[in-house]
């Protein structure tokens, strides 16, 4: 049967055909057919119409760290050393001359070296048995720890002049709470952690410890606790920073262990503790404070220093004259540098530009400058007797946690 189209029906069919054609054109509208200047400009300003663009997930929010009250905000939750990039000097220290300060424990002096010329430019008399040169929390002062002299000698890093000594008993080592409120004296022979005002050094609280030889330390990512090594009894302490109280104690699983320097990993998940007698580095979960595992590095492992890019850690093996290199990402040792004449690499720091590792030669009355790119010894500089915790200054960072320079 033949169908007859009425005028009304013909009009409706034409309208539907036109609508279909318009829809097809609209679907192609995001692809301009005429690449003229005006059309390109118009399409560049269009809002994307695809569903995929509309449902793109928002970038994940950075983890918020609830730090110790008063502590500067954590710059990067994945890298505690984010403020320590090459030559990123704070306004406080940017005009200080670059120097290496070497405490000589048997000469009762601090040798000052110009790192550009590798020459000794000054010798500063201090108290008896200076152990470490420690940058203050505000980075304005260098404190010399005169352990047997029971004093601290302040040095102005801008002028290189020593100030009036401050009486502090048994200051083997010195740290600062991350909020800058207290100095923490590692009173090794007194078997105490002594919390003092960070500026006046007046005693605020004394925390007795049952271990022997409190020595070195480092703080958690949030600054709420710190780990302390006890070298003479082979133990570790966990201390609540705000309460100023020991909350954990662990005996290292090695007979005769002698833990030394302590450093936290960039991601804040592990602590590394050098051990002179175990000849390696203990790896500790600080939050859980469970039994650590040992990473063998070399005879007399002593000092730990992190590279300016947070990728590597330099480990000085004092008993064999070497430096082991640990890669944080690969979680393994990758290299070992040998000093040409052996020596006794002990403690020190990395230059502001990250290119030179400076270490004291504890039993050889010398200081070593080592190229961090090649491991080649650049210089061996004669100093006083018994050089120990030298400080390279200034260094990048916002504030100092103490020792020979732990910066955040």
Tally of CB atoms within 10 A around 34: 7
Look at residue 137 and tell me whether its pLDDT is greater than 80: yes
Query: How do residues 193-202 score in pLDDT, each as one tens digit?
Result: 999 999 999 9
Average pLDDT, the chain: 89
d(CA 342, CA 44): 67
What's the pLDDT at 64?
79
* Under 8 Å between Cβ of 225 and 241: yes
Peptide bond just before 366 cis, omega within 30 deg: no
Residue with tokens 């409190």: 214
Of the two residues 182 and 9, the one the predictor is more confident about is 182
Query: How do residues 381-403 score in pLDDT, each as one tens digit?
Result: 999 999 999 999 999 999 999 99
Query: How do residues 340-355 score in pLDDT, each as one tens digit?
Result: 999 999 999 999 999 9
Q: What are phi and psi of 207, to 5 degrees?
A: -110, 100
Look at residue 90 and tell me whether its pLDDT is greater than 70: yes
Query: How do residues 215-235 score in pLDDT, each as one tens digit?
Result: 999 999 999 999 999 999 999
Closest CA to 236 of 228, 224, 244: 228
Closest CA to 229 of 194, 268, 281: 281
Of the two residues 315 and 5, the one the predictor is more confident about is 315
* Under 8 Å between Cβ of 160 and 122: yes
Inter-CA distances, 225 with 177, 221, 324, 371, Å: 9, 9, 28, 34
* Under 8 Å between Cβ of 135 and 400: yes
Q: What six digits make up the tokens of 108?
A: 């009762």
Residue ranges of domains in the chain = 82-393
3-state SS track over the chain: CCCCCCHHHHHHHHHHHHHHHHHHHHHCCCCCCCCCHHHHHHHHCCCCCCHHHHCCCCCCCCCCCCCCCCCCCCCCCCCCCHHHCCCCCCCCCCCCCCEEEEEECCCCEEEEEECCCCEEEEEEECCCCEEEEEECCCCCCEEEEECCCCEEEEEECCCCEECCCEECCCCCEEEECCCCCEEEEEECCCCEEEEEECCCCCEEEEEECCCCCEEEEEECCCCCEEEEEECCCCEEEEEECCCCEEEEEEECCCCCCCEEEEEECCCCCCEEEEECCCCEEEEECCCCCCCCEEEECCCCEEEEEECCCCCEEEEEECCCCEEEEEECCCCEEEEEEECCCCCCEEEEEECCCCCEEEEEECCCCEEEEEECCCCCEEEEEECCCCECECEEECCCCCCECECCCCEC
Query: Options 1.20.58.100, 2.130.10.10, 3.20.20.10, 2.60.40.3080; which CATH number does 82-393 get?
Result: 2.130.10.10
Q: What six digits make up the tokens of 288?
A: 């859980």
Query: How do residues 17-64 score in pLDDT, each as one tens digit?
Result: 443 443 333 333 333 333 333 333 333 333 333 333 334 444 445 567
What's the pLDDT at 239?
98
What's the pLDDT at 65?
86
Residue with tokens 């992190």: 306
Model confidence, pTM: 0.85
Query: How do residues 160-182 score in pLDDT, each as one tens digit?
Result: 999 999 999 999 999 999 999 99
């Amino acid at each position: 049967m033949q169908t007859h189209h009425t005028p009304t029906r013909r009009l409706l069919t034409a309208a539907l055909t036109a609508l279909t054609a318009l829809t097809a054109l609209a679907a192609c509208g995001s692809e301009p057919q005429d690449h003229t200047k005006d059309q390109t400009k118009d399409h560049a300003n269009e809002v994307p119409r695809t569903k995929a663009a509309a449902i793109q997930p928002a970038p994940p929010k950075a983890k918020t760290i609830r730090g110790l009250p008063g502590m500067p905000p954590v710059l990067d939750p994945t890298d505690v050393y984010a403020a320590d990039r090459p030559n990123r000097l704070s306004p406080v220290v940017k005009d200080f001359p670059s120097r290496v300060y070497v405490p000589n424990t048997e000469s009762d002096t601090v040798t000052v070296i110009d790192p550009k010329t590798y020459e000794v430019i000054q010798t500063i008399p201090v108290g008896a048995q200076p152990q470490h040169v420690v940058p203050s929390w505000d980075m304005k002062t260098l404190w010399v720890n005169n352990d047997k002299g029971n004093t601290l000698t302040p040095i102005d890093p801008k002028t290189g002049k020593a100030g009036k000594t401050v009486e502090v008993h048994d200051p083997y080592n010195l740290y600062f709470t991350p909020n800058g409120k207290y100095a923490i004296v590692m009173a090794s022979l007194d078997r105490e952690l002594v919390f003092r005002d960070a500026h006046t050094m007046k005693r605020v609280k004394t925390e007795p410890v049952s271990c022997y030889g409190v020595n070195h330390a480092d703080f958690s990512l949030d600054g709420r606790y710190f780990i302390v090594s006890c070298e003479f009894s082979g133990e570790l302490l966990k201390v609540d920073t705000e309460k100023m109280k020991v909350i954990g104690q662990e005996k290292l699983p090695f007979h005769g262990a002698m833990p030394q320097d302590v450093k936290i990993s960039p991601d804040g998940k592990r602590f590394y503790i050098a051990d002179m007698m175990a000849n390696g580095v203990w790896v500790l979960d600080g939050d859980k404070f469970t039994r650590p595992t040992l990473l063998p590095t070399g005879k007399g492992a002593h000092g730990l220093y992190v590279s300016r890019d947070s990728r590597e850690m330099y480990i000085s093996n004092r008993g064999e004259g070497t430096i082991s290199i640990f890669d944080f990402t690969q979680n393994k040792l990758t290299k070992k540098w040998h000093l040409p004449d052996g020596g006794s690499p002990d403690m020190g720091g990395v230059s502001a530009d990250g290119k030179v590792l400076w270490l004291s030669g504890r039993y050889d009355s010398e200081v070593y400058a080592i190229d961090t790119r090649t491991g080649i010894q650049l210089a061996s500089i004669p100093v006083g007797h018994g050089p120990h915790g030298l400080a390279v200054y200034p260094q990048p960072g916002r504030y100092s946690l103490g020792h020979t320079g732990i910066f955040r």
